């Protein structure tokens, strides 16, 4: 099949872009390196849209939360990622969490069923010299392609480290010590397993994190910053004795049924698959060596006999200085036939990555149709992300960013307590208006 658009990378962004194009009748070639015998340092399967870190898409509250609003907007645009997430959902309180295997299978099945889409397992080493292309290779872009991107941009890519949290087999958790609850009992289903720590246990654990043997850095990894939203737990521990107790180990709102009081600290685990057989340690991304992880994490009350389905890990992420290199449609200024989508643009998070892939797919479809692209309003979550990546952020200090209300045009005349609801109400109204003109003209496959 002769393609109209070449998409490089079958992660969340590439899969979403492919879906948005193929469902509009565009002929697409989706190239994915995994399946050729090669994988990135973080991937464990050859499945499209594999979730390599958490299994959570974070809050699904579209009234008071920016990422929940982004969920809403993507659903309005027939997002494949959001449709697959609904089919793969597992309990997680107000968050949207999924069985990662079911999720990937749903994405791949939907794409395979598209008659104008060809999925090819191949490694692409160079940016194409011509033809509409979307590069969605993510933060773990293969070295050869990264070199080609560097040559095309004439600038060094920025980089940061990203760490993966461990996953525990449910039947190895001691529920005589741990208990099920959501913070402040907000969820009737009590979706989290809570492991309590007294002060002595916490102090010993904190000391173990500081002393534990860590993964060593390679020479090319030196002086690369972490992204604050995925900080390794031992790096957080280095910032102060109580940093963890105000972060992933905060006990606030969690009454230990054995004492009726909040523990000194709490380790929470969240369901990771539909069967409920594996649970991930919330906020426990780490660069500790594997043997050290097993030893130290088994000192956590309730996890003394824990068996791990996956231990934590560390990988290097790279992203473009997008405000400097890309135009307002994610096109490379020096080679406008090439668009970028997903985390490589400098967004952070599963949902944000998929959202940028969705927009890249829509932009390309409209370009093919001959229509003029009209960007979603900056008052929407999609528009706020787009604006941040392609020009609102300072190029000399550009860093990965999750969607948040700080990216939205401010509402100074609204009281602070009412501001989140006001942001979401404005966004939903503006998105509805934009949708009436967003769809491209009829396309010929």
For 179-209, the pLDDT digits (tens) are 999 988 766 678 899 999 999 999 999 999 9
Using alpha carbons, select from 7, 3, 61 the residue that is nearest to residue 33.
7
Q: How far is Cα of residue 105 from the mean position of the Cα atoms in its chain? A: 18
Q: Determine, yes or no, domain membership for 343.
A: yes
Q: Position of tokens 């990555």?
A: 353
Angle between helices 80-87 and 100-112 (to 10 degrees): 130
Q: What is the pLDDT of residue 157?
A: 65
pLDDT confidence of residue 41: 67
12 is in an annotated binding site: yes
Residue range 403-433, pLDDT digits in tens: 999 899 888 898 888 999 999 999 999 999 9
Q: What is the pLDDT of residue 317?
A: 75
Residue 445 lies in a domain: no
* Judgement on whether residues 10 and 153 belong to the same structural domain of the protein: yes
pLDDT mean over 353-359: 98
Could you tell me if 334 and 210 lie in one domain? no
Do 128 and 73 sit in the same domain of this protein?
yes
**Mean pLDDT of the 424-445 span:** 82
Task: Indicate whether 224 and 329 sit together in one domain.
Answer: no
The Cα–Cα gap between 82 and 74 comes to 7
- Is residue 215 one of the residues assigned to a domain? yes
**Selected residue with higher pLDDT from 400 and 58:** 58
Q: Is residue 103 part of a domain?
A: yes
Per the prediction, the chain carries an average pLDDT of 91
One domain, residues 238 and 312? yes
The model's pTM: 0.83
Mean pLDDT on 13-42: 90
Better pLDDT: 167 or 160: 167
Instruction: Please report, in angstroms and rounded to a whole number, the separation of the first and last CA atoms in the chain.
Output: 11
Last residue of some domain: 269, 301, 316?
A: 316
pLDDT at 140: 79
Rounded to the nearest 10°, the torsion over CA 39, 44, 48, 50 is -130
Given a contact cutoff of 8 angstroms between Cβ atoms, the answer to whether 1 and 419 are in contact is: no
Q: Are residues 295 and 341 in the same domain?
A: no
CA geometry: angle 356, 320, 224, nearest 5 deg: 120
Q: Which two tokens stand for residue 121?
A: 């397992």
Total structural domains within the chain: 2
Q: Identify whether 34 is part of a domain.
A: yes
Domain C-terminal end among 293, 316, 339:
316
Asked whether residue 13 is marked as a ligand-binding residue, the answer is: yes
What is the per-residue pLDDT for 223?
66
Q: In this structure, what CATH number is given to the domain that contains residue 69? A: 3.50.50.60
Do 346 and 310 sit in the same domain of this protein?
Answer: no
Q: Which whole-number Å values give the CA distances from 296 to 202, 251, 284, 293, 328, in the listed order?
A: 12, 20, 12, 5, 47
**Residue 337 within a domain:** yes
On whether both 324 and 273 belong to a single domain, the answer is no
> Tokens 């990264």 correspond to what residue?
146
**Would the pLDDT of 442 be above 60?**
no
- Whether 372 is in a domain gets the answer yes
- What is the reported pLDDT for 333? 94
d(CA 232, CA 312): 9
From 316, 340, 366, the end of a domain falls on: 316
Per the CB < 8 A criterion, the answer to whether 266 and 177 are in contact is no
Q: Which residues contact 118 (CB under 8 A, 6 or more apart)?
A: 1, 3, 27, 28, 29, 30
Alpha carbon 366 to its chain centroid, in Å, reads: 26
Q: Residue 348 corresponds to which tokens in the numbers above? A: 């952070």
Kindly state whether residues 247 and 334 are assigned to the same domain: no
Residues 308 and 339 grouped into a single domain: no
Check residue 443 and give its pLDDT: 56
In a domain, 9, yes or no: yes
Residue 10 annotated as binding site: yes
- The whole-number average pLDDT for the span 385-393 is 87
Q: What is the pLDDT of residues 211-243, one digit of tens each?
A: 999 887 666 566 677 776 778 999 999 999 999
Mean pLDDT of 169-175: 95
To which residue do tokens 């997008």 refer?
Answer: 322
With beta carbons less than 8 A apart as the criterion, state whether 119 and 126 touch.
no
1-15, 42-56, 331-345, 355-369: least confidently modelled range: 42-56
Q: Can you tell me the mean pLDDT for 8-20? A: 97
- pLDDT for residue 58: 94
Lowest mean pLDDT among 47-51, 345-349, 390-394: 390-394
Confidence of residue 445 (pLDDT cuts 50, 70, 90): very low
110 assigned binding-site residue: no
For residue 203, what are the domain limits?
A: 164-316
User: Does residue 284 share a domain with residue 227?
Assistant: yes
State the pLDDT confidence band at 126, using cuts at 50, 70 and 90. very high
Task: Encode the chain in three state secondary structure.
Answer: CCCCEEEECCCHHHHHHHHHHHCCCCCEEEEECECCCECCCCCCCCCCCCCCCCCEEEECCCCCCHHHHHHHHHHHCCCHHHHHHHHCEECCCCEEEECHHHHHHHHHHHHHCCCCEEEEECCCCCCCCCCEEEECCHHHCCHHHHHHHHHHHCCCCEEEEEEECCEEEHHHCCCCCCEECCHHHCCCCCCEEEEEECHHHHHHHHHHHHHCCECCCCHHHCCCCECHHHCCHHHHHHCCCCCHHHCCCCCCCCCECCCCECCCEEEEEEECCCCCCEEEECCCCCCECHHHHHHHHCCCCCCCCCCEEECCEEEEEEECCHHHHECCCCEECCEEEEEECHHHHCECCHHHHHHHHHHHHHHHHHHHHCCCCCCCCCCCHHHHHHHHHHHHCCHHHCCCECCCHHHCCCCCCCCHHHHHHHHHHHHHHHHHHHHHHHCCCCCCC
Whether residues 186 and 149 share a domain: the answer is no
444 — pLDDT class (breaks 50, 70, 90):
very low
């Amino acid at each position: 099949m002769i393609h109209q658009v070449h998409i490089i990378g079958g992660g969340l962004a590439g899969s979403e872009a492919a879906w948005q194009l193929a469902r509009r009748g565009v002929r697409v070639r989706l190239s994915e390196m995994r399946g050729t015998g090669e994988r990135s340092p973080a991937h464990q399967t050859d499945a499209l849209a594999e979730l390599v870190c958490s299994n959570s898409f974070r809050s699904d509250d579209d009234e008071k939360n920016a990422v929940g609003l982004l969920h809403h907007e993507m659903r309005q645009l027939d997002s494949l990622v959001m449709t697959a997430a609904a089919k793969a959902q597992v309990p997680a309180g107000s968050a949207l969490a999924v069985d990662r295997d079911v999720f990937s299978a749903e994405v791949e099945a939907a794409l395979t069923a598209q008659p104008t889409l060809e999925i090819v397992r191949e490694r692409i080493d160079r940016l194409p010299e011509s033809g509409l292309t979307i590069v969605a290779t993510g933060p773990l872009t293969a070295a050869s392609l990264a070199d080609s991107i560097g040559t095309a941009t004439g600038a060094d890519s920025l980089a940061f480290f990203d760490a993966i949290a461990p996953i525990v087999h449910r039947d190895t958790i001691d529920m005589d010590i741990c208990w099920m609850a959501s913070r402040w009992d907000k969820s009737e289903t009590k979706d989290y397993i809570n492991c309590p720590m007294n002060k002595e246990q916490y102090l010993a654990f904190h000391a173990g994190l500081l002393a534990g043997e860590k993964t060593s850095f390679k020479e090319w990894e030196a002086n690369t910053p972490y992204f604050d939203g995925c900080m390794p737990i031992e790096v957080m521990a280095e910032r102060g004795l109580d940093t963890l107790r105000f972060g992933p180990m905060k006990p606030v709102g969690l009454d230990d049924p054995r004492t009726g009081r909040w523990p000194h600290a709490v380790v929470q685990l969240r369901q990771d698959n539909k069967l409920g057989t594996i649970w991930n340690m919330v906020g426990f991304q780490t660069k500790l060596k594997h043997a050290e992880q097993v030893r130290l994490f088994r000192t956590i009350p309730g996890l003394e006999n824990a068996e791990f389905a996956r231990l934590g890990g560390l990988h290097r992420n790279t992203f473009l200085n997008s405000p400097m290199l890309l135009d307002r449609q994610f096109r490379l200024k020096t080679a406008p036939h090439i668009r970028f989508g997903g985390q490589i643009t400098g967004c952070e998070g599963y949902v944000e990555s998929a959202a940028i892939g969705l927009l890249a797919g829509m932009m390309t479809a409209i370009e093919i149709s001959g229509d003029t692209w009209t960007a979603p309003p900056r008052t929407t979550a999609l528009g706020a992300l787009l604006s941040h990546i392609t020009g609102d952020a300072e190029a000399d200090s550009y860093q990965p960013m999750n969607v948040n209300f700080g990216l939205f045009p401010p509402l100074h005349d609204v009281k602070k307590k009412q501001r989140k609801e006001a942001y979401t109400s404005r966004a939903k109204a503006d998105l509805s208006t934009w949708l009436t003109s967003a769809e491209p003209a009829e396309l010929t496959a």
